[in-house]
Structure 1
Amino acid sequence: MQFADRLNNVETSAIRELFKLLGKPGIISFAGGFPDSAMFDVDGIRAASNAALAEEPGAALQYGATEGYNPLREQLAAFMASKGAKDVAADNLIVTTGSQQALDLLGKTLISPGDKVIVEGPTFLATIQCFRLYGAELISAPIDGNGVKTDELEKLIAEHQPKFVYLIPTFGNPSGAMLSLERRKAVLEMAVKHNTLIVEDDPYGDLYFGDAPPPSLLNLSATVPGSRELLVHCGSLSKVLSPGLRVGWMIAPAELLAKATMCKQFSDAHTSTFAQATAAQYLKAGRMPGTLAHVRKVYAERAQAMGNALRNDLGDAIEFVQPQGGLFVWARLTGAGGKVVDGNVLAKRAIDKGVAFVPGTPFFCANPDHATFRLSFATADADKIREGVARLAQAV
């Protein structure tokens, strides 16, 4: 077959390929980037779906508006307001089939072949694949434990004049990093200074373990004149409620939302109305605060268990920043004592020891750091985490 040239720019997900190796009995997996299904609020979702069918069965089961089921858009606006984005109205957002579709819509509406886009190094693997599919030339902005290095980012913006900058400021995937308040303000100020669009992807911001993180770029934009018109905010219920609902949203300037809505018409017509109606009823019922409190507590305990085990069992063979939220530990092999220094090599050795993780290389759009790797603590309890890390230590 003669496939489209754009497919030459992308490869199968390294993470999906890794999952093929996990059928081996007894494997403890730290590889996935998904929440623990044992913590889904099944009773609450069941009640919400029943309410959707009881109150508006015709609307829940019928075709719907491309921009989203209006009761859900209103609930999402209220949800954003509860987190500090007081001026978000239902008309300021569209519902997407997971936040993943928002990235695809940004690719469709903004990227022409050869356009430059700045992403963090490392960043979400699917973002790299999606933007490359549309022909983007990706530029890597370095990060540290406090998120993207804004001095370096501004130099890259000035040099490359990108179509936009894509960031995961709060507990990024895979880095787990949290962009500091000072740097968040700097990002908004440079957006205005250089007239550059900023995309804030925020699927993990509600999963904090102690104090709440700094305000989102969306919330802070009210304090930086002109920045709101240069900001896109993507959100999702996947990590906090259920990935299976496939409910995300995108807040953006009206002109961009209109173009994105048009492109969404061509791809799926609309996100599942039944899923949207269920999500709307769930938010309306007021169960989300309790759900968030529960998952934060569980993930905080697991993150601490993993951090303690890594320090105890691997010592100076690795370095990492203890996560303050999200689902991931981002670690780097040091090679101390002549031990393994390549995450790809360690991944293969770890499988033989009965534990899996994702090497860091695929998360970089350029100049990958082969010593890095990502561990997820979300789906294993503390005992499994300790056992898995002990196995990992045998492979290092």
Structure 2
Amino acid sequence: MQFADRLNNVETSAIRELFKLLGKPGIISFAGGFPDSAMFDVDGIREASQRALAEEPGGALQYGATEGYEPLREQLSAFMAAKGAKDVAPGQLIVTTGSQQALDLLGKTMIGPGDKVIVEGPTFLATIQCFRLYGADLVSAPIDGQGVKTDELERLIAEHRPKLVYLIPTFGNPSGAMLSLERRRKVLELAVKYQTLIVEDDPYGDLYFGEAPPPSLLALSPQVPGSRELLAHCGSLSKVLSPGLRVGWLVAPPELLAKATMCKQFSDAHTSTFAQATAAQYLKAGRMPGTLAHVRAVYAERAQAMGDALRRELGAAVEFVQPQGGLFVWARLTGANGAVADGDVLAKRAIDKGVAFVPGAPFFCANPDRATLRLSFATAGVDKIREGVARLGQAVA
């Protein structure tokens, strides 16, 4: 078959391929990037779905507007307002089938073959694949524990004049980094200075362990005149409510939002109205704050357990920043005392020891750091985390 040339630029996900190895009995997996299903508010979601069918069955089961189910758009507007983005009217967002679709719509509407796009190094693997599918020439911006290095970002913007810059400012996947308040303001200032679209992906911002993170770029944008017109914001309920609902949203300038809506019409007509109605009822019922408090406490305990175990079992063989939120520990092998210093090599040895993680190299669009690895603490209990890291320590020696 003669497939489209665009497929020459992408390959299947290295993470999805890794999952094929996890059928081995007794494997402790730190590989997944998903929330713990044991913490889903099943009762709350059940009640919300029943109310959706009882109160507006036609709206929940019939075709709907491409822009989204209006009661959900209203609830999402209030949800963002509670986090500081107070001026997002329901008509300024569209509901998407997960935030992944929002990224795909941005790719469709903004990226043509050869267009320069700046992403963090490392960044979300699916974004690399999605943008490359539309022909993007990706440029990697370096990060540290406080997120993207804005001085380097400005240099890259000035040099490449990209179509857009894609960032995960809060507890990024895979880095777990949290962009500082100072750098957030700088990013918005760069958008205005260079008239460059900034895409803020924010699926993890509600999963903080101590103090709340700095406001999102969306919430900060009123403080930097002109930046709101150059900002697209992607949100999701997948990590805080349920991935299975596939409910995300996109906030963007009116012209971009209109183009994205048009492209969504070609893709799926609209996100599941039943899922949207269920999500709307759930948010309306006021259960989200309690759900978030619970998952934050559980993930905080697991993150601390993983950090403590890594320091105890691997010692100088690994370096990392203790996460303040999100789902991941991003670590780098040092090779100290002759220990393994290549993430791919360690991954194979770790599987033999009964533990799995994701090597870091696939998360870079260029110049991969092969000493890196991503460990998820979300789906394993504290005892499993301790045992899994102990096995990892045996593999790294």
Whole-Å separation in 1 of the counterparts to 2:267 and 2:199: 21
Cα deviation, residue 322, structure 1: 0.0
Alignment of 1:372-383 (within 5 A): 372-383=372-383
CA displacement 1:162-210 (0-9 Å, x = unmatched)? 0000000000000000000010000000110000100000000000000
1:295 alignment partner, SS class? helix
Report the equivalent of 1:173: 173
1:119 alignment partner, SS class? strand
Report the equivalent of 2:292: 292
Whole-Å separation in 1 of the counterparts to 2:32 and 2:42: 21
Unaligned runs of at least 5 residues, structure 2: none
Alignment of 1:132-143 (within 5 A): 132-143=132-143
CA displacement 1:126-165 (0-9 Å, x = unmatched)? 0000000000000000000000000000000000000000
Alignment of 1:191-340 (within 5 A): 191-340=191-340
Whole-Å separation in 1 of the counterparts to 2:334 and 2:7: 36
Whole-Å separation in 1 of the counterparts to 2:4 and 2:193: 38
Unaligned runs of at least 5 residues, structure 1: none
Whole-Å separation in 1 of the counterparts to 2:85 and 2:191: 19
Whole-Å separation in 2 of the counterparts to 1:211 and 1:316: 29
1:143 alignment partner, SS class? strand
Does structure 1 residue 359 correspond to structure 2 residue 359?
A: yes
Whole-Å separation in 1 of the counterparts to 2:80 and 2:146: 24
CA displacement 1:282-324 (0-9 Å, x = unmatched)? 0000000000000000000000000000000000000000000
1:120 alignment partner, SS class? strand
Whole-Å separation in 1 of the counterparts to 2:325 and 2:46: 28
Report the equivalent of 2:162: 162
2:314 alignment partner, SS class? helix
Whole-Å separation in 2 of the counterparts to 1:37 and 1:104: 26
Whole-Å separation in 2 of the counterparts to 1:5 and 1:365: 19
Does structure 1 residue 59 correspond to structure 2 residue 59?
A: yes
Alignment of 1:55-204 (within 5 A): 55-204=55-204
Does structure 1 residue 14 correspond to structure 2 residue 21?
A: no
Q: How many residues align?
A: 396
Whole-Å separation in 1 of the counterparts to 2:255 and 2:16: 35
Report the equivalent of 1:393: 393
Whole-Å separation in 1 of the counterparts to 2:190 and 2:76: 29
Q: Which amino acid aligns with 2:269?
A: A
Q: Which amino acid aligns with 1:52?
A: A
Cα deviation, residue 239, structure 1: 0.1
1:270 alignment partner, SS class? coil
CA displacement 1:216-274 (0-9 Å, x = unmatched)? 00011010000000000000000000000000000000000000000000000000000
Whole-Å separation in 2 of the counterparts to 1:364 and 1:275: 34
1:73 alignment partner, SS class? helix
CA displacement 1:45-64 (0-9 Å, x = unmatched)? 00000000000001100000
Whole-Å separation in 2 of the counterparts to 1:134 and 1:174: 23
TM-score, normalising length from structure 1? 1.00
1:331 alignment partner, SS class? strand
% identity of equivalent residues: 88
Q: Which amino acid aligns with 1:277?
A: A
Whole-Å separation in 1 of the counterparts to 2:313 and 2:109: 48
Whole-Å separation in 2 of the counterparts to 1:77 and 1:152: 34
Cα deviation, residue 213, structure 1: 0.2
Whole-Å separation in 2 of the counterparts to 1:191 and 1:86: 21
Whole-Å separation in 2 of the counterparts to 1:166 and 1:268: 24
Report the equivalent of 1:348: 348
1:344 alignment partner, SS class? helix
**Structure 1 ranges of 4+ moved more than 4 A:** none
1:200 alignment partner, SS class? strand
Whole-Å separation in 2 of the counterparts to 1:62 and 1:360: 43
Cα deviation, residue 74, structure 1: 0.3
Whole-Å separation in 1 of the counterparts to 2:345 and 2:106: 35
Whole-Å separation in 1 of the counterparts to 2:195 and 2:144: 25
Cα deviation, residue 369, structure 1: 0.1
Q: Which amino acid aligns with 2:20?
A: K
